[in-house]
Amino acid sequence: MMGDGFGMGIPGLGMILVWVAIILLVVWLVGALVGNRRPRDKDARQILDERLAQGEIDQDEYEQLKKRLHG
């Protein structure tokens, strides 16, 4: 018996591969849907602006760091 052609001659392997593919597809879809709802990460400039606003750094340090960010 040659098998079903999908299982490469090993009984049941084809069905296992089908279920693995279905599970991976579901995981990927859920990840894609949930991933779009996560807030975007702040960029370095936004973090720098917030640190200045909160008083963590002074204006001179802010200007130095801003120059480093922009090259």
pLDDT in tens, 20-30: 999 999 999 98
Average pLDDT, the chain: 83
Flag whether pLDDT at 71 surpasses 60.
yes
Place of tokens 């130095």: 64
Average pLDDT of the residues in 6-19: 76
CA dihedral (53, 55, 59, 60) positive or negative? negative
What is the pTM for the complete model shown? 0.42
Flag whether pLDDT at 50 surpasses 90.
yes
Q: What is the CA radius of gyration of the chain?
A: 26
